[in-house]
Structure 1
Amino acid sequence: MALALAGLIGFAAGASWMKWQMASVQITGGNATQPSSDEAQREHREKFFSGDPERDVRGGQELKPRW
């Protein structure tokens, strides 16, 4: 009986959390953080993946185990 009650409470909590998440997506428009045009998306990708141009990473670094 207690297990069934705990399952019902967990299901209700999960359903209410999902409803709250869906409501917040509808309020913000769903994709408010993503750029809309192709040019803006390209600039966003370049900025995110560009890294530090001053850092030389061609040689790499030897991997050493920590044990």
Structure 2
Amino acid sequence: MSPRLIIALALAGIVALGAGAVWLVVQPRALGKSGGSASIVQLTFAEERREHRQKFFSGDPERDIRGGEVMKPRW
């Protein structure tokens, strides 16, 4: 491979990575600013994730865990 080809490929890779980084930074802001259904979908998805996290980490309110049993190692 010639040095010019290597430099051209490296520059093309750098430009592609830069374009991808800019797209990732700009895209979420564009979705939030648009008044269309995309922001509604985004809010609904965030609400679902929040509910799922709350259900997962809250535990069972009926179960008493205060007086628990000491865990013993299995040898």
Q: What TM-score, normalized by structure 1, do the two folds share?
A: 0.48
**Which has more radius of gyration?**
2
Greater share of helix residues, 1 or 2?
Answer: 2
Q: What TM-score, normalized by structure 2, do the two folds share?
A: 0.45
